[in-house]
Amino acid sequence: MLLTETQQTATTATGASFLLGPAGTGKTTTLQHRLLNLLRRGEPAYTILVLVAEEDNRDSFLNFLHAHNAGPYADLKITTYTYLARELVSLFWPLVARPAGFERPYQPPTNLSYDLAQLLMWQTVNPMVRQGAFAGLRLRPQQIVSQLIDTLNRAALNGLGLDQAIERSIHTWAGEMDQIRYLEDARTAARHFREHCRRHSLLDLSLTVRVFDTQLVRHPEFHRYFSERFRHLLVDNVEEQTPAGQNFIASLIGQTQSMALAYDSDGGYKRFLSADPAGAARFEEPCDRSLPFDQSFTTTEPLIHLANLTENYLTVGGSKGPTSQAANAIWGVVDGRYRREMVWQLPHTLNQLIHDHGIPPSEIAIITPYLDGALRYSLEQALNLHQIPYYLLQRRSSPRDEPRIRAWLTWLALAHPDWGLAPAPYDVAEALTLSIHNLDPARAQLLTERLYRPEIPALLPSSELPELVETRTGRDTAAMVETVRTWLADNGGRHPLDVFLHRLFTELLALPPYQPTPDLAGAAVCDWLVRTAGNLRQSAPAIGLLTPADVGVAFINGIYQGLVTANPPELGEPPNLDGVMISTIYGYLLTGRVTQVQVWLETAATGWWDIPRQPLSNVFVLAQSRPPNQLWTMDEDYRIRNELLRRIIHGLTARCRGGIILANSDLDRRGQRQDGPLWRALQPIRHAPNAP
């Protein structure tokens, strides 16, 4: 690949360089060539640090080095700010534990995953809710927990203490006074959570970042280590860094031999995760050189005009970009009164692109503001019917939505009746259906009605089955149910949680006749459940779970209440990466993927313009670049929504080589008419599509 003059300059420059330009102008490619150049000049990989916005972005750098035979680079560190903070706080724990307020600095820290942090917060919030805290707040308990964790994380990532963050939220609130009471309850819960962590040497994300930002980064011993270890810093998408990450980068200016920062001028898609693009723009001034990247390698003039058309509609005042070619960027429109009609008409348009215009399915992306279960199911049904290959960028659902996981939790509860968790008859019938090969739901329901006693809770011996029922369900099936019953009775209470789950699969459910062929989906469930249960058991004493029953109940309830959510197993066939991609907006933007055709699904939905409703955690008022006491008004809310949509459209069009298909339904899933800002912005051109 031939590099432009600007890219060549950035690849070999010394000192600090600021690479500025929109997506698709070659900034990441330049960083990759700069990394390759350092290695080929003999710079040890051990001395190079590459910070990326997402952990998945590591692969593009590693694949690039592998393709160019870069030589040994095993010691190269490509990571995110939060992963780096966790690693270095653990490494330098003796230096920072006591100043950070931990009661037992000699005790090694335990890193809390997001799931474990939610379980600990749940234990903190539950007593408060019973005593009347958060009364009147229209949120489910799990939503309260997740927003409290978000409050702690966002405070730390914005370089704020807990009290500072709550005070900002209070002082900027201009609505009903009940909200102040909810924020005070949030402060109390977060303080209790933080105190427990400091007593037991627990590090959740927020405390890790806070210790790194306020203690470690300012410690002279750390700077001595860091300057000796890392001599070259490369940061991709610095606009996606949080203020805490930006503070860390700022502390390294002048401390490394070279530095290259890539800034996407229309980025900042992680605003909901505390990214501060306005704060990242400050790095241009202290850098030795600012290099403009303005030649797009991906998009076209009509797509640029399409983005301008949207921006002109959303932005009041300011310069108006050209829009004369915007209509040429629209390659088709799919309409329907109801969402289902829109979805079922879409494959006809996709088939025309694939078969009539020779566009590979892998060059098509279906992008939607949200992907609820009903929409996902409808899309899969429609694409399968028309034999169009596809894959979901995020195919994993919540663990509680996976039937196999529910089945295993049912057996776990039945094996431990002393835990007081009685599965519903429906869950027992579902567990039988998924555990016994060729057992249909009707016979499973019949067996459950005759053998399951939820008041115990337990399965009765199969000898209790009337002969007529045994004949209808099959003697072999009844014998298999009896084997399950006796295995649960023999193994319940004898093994730790993760060991029990492993033995349940390997000694029973994976073997014939329950599974006559290798059960790959069951193995994935087993692996996830065992790892998750093992992590919980190891951290249980530190988060206040002192008995096996405490651990088991927290494990089952945590999954059913949506508190245990991280990395559920991937079931079914591996994704067909040669198929059409289905993704949410931010999922697509953060991958950096470029396709020839994008389908903007539900174009009239306000979801393109909405921001999450989080009354306990307003990420925007915590931004370091925002005045701390400025009231949060409807005008600012409106302006931020427009700004986010403007960035979204610029980001999408910069990652498209061909054209856009608009797919829309008149009514949303609730039967409400749709007429969102994006749909209105596209009004002048949406009736005149141009085929490729």
Question: What is the SS3 string spanning 57-119?
Answer: HHHHHHHHHHHCCCCCCCCCEEECHHHHHHHHHHHCHHHHCCCCCCCCCCCCCEECCHHHHHH
Q: What is the pLDDT of residue 189?
A: 96
- What is the average pLDDT across 667-683? 87
Q: Which residue has the tokens 């300057």?
A: 227
Give the residue from 616, 596, 599 showing the smallest Cα distance to 657.
Answer: 596
Task: Read off the tokens for 145.
Answer: 């927990």
| Rounded distance between C-alpha atoms, residue 115 and residue 143, angstroms | 13
CA–CA gap between residue 590 and residue 53 (Å, rounded): 8
Partners of residue 17 on adjacent β-strands: 260, 289
How far is it between the farthest Cα atoms of the chain? Answer: 87
What does the pLDDT read at residue 565? 80
Model pLDDT, residue 591:
87
The predicted model gives 550-572 an average pLDDT of: 87
Tell me which of 165-179, 238-252, 437-451, 566-580 is least confident: 566-580
Average confidence (pLDDT) over 310-339: 88
| Cα separation, 332 vs 334, whole angstroms | 7
As a whole number, mean pLDDT of residues 533-547 equals 92
Task: Please give the pLDDT value at position 629.
Answer: 86
CA atoms of 210 and 215, how far apart (whole Å): 8
258 Cα distance to chain centroid: 32
Weakest mean pLDDT among 53-57, 285-289, 641-645: 53-57
Q: Residue 656 has which token pair?
A: 């498209």
Report, as an integer, the average pLDDT of 639-657: 94
DSSP 394: S
User: Mean pLDDT score of the chain, rounded to an integer?
Assistant: 92
pLDDT (average), residues 670-681: 88
Q: How far is CA 574 from the centre of its chain?
A: 20
> In this model, does residue 653 exceed pLDDT 80?
yes
| 681-685-688 Cα angle (round to 5) | 155
In the predicted structure, residue 395 carries a pLDDT above the cut 60: no
Of these ranges, 53-57, 176-180, 409-413, the one predicted with the greatest mean pLDDT is 409-413
Is residue 423's pLDDT more than 90?
yes
Confidence at 273, pLDDT banded by 50, 70, 90 = confident
Which token pair is 162? 């807990």
pLDDT exceeds 90 at position 186: yes
Tell me what pLDDT residue 223 has: 86
Give me the sign of the Cα torsion angle 533, 536, 540, 543: negative
Through-space distance between the first and last CA atoms of the chain, rounded to whole angstroms: 27
**578 pLDDT tier (thresholds 50, 70, 90):** very high
**What is the CB-side half-sphere exposure of residue 117 using CA atoms within 13 A?**
25
Average pLDDT of the residues in 264-284: 90
pLDDT value for 357 = 93
Tens of pLDDT, residues 118-140: 999 999 999 999 999 999 888 88
Percent of the chain with pLDDT over 90: 75
Report percent pLDDT > 70 for the chain: 98
Of 52-61, 315-324, 355-364, which gets the smallest average pLDDT? Answer: 315-324
User: Residue 139's pLDDT is what?
Assistant: 85
Per-residue pLDDT reduced to its tens digit, 21-59: 999 999 999 999 999 999 999 999 999 999 999 988 899
What are 260-269's pLDDT values in tens digits? 999 999 898 8
* Residue 673 pLDDT level (bands cut at 50, 70, 90): confident
Residue pointed to by tokens 């190269």 = 76
pLDDT for res 528: 93
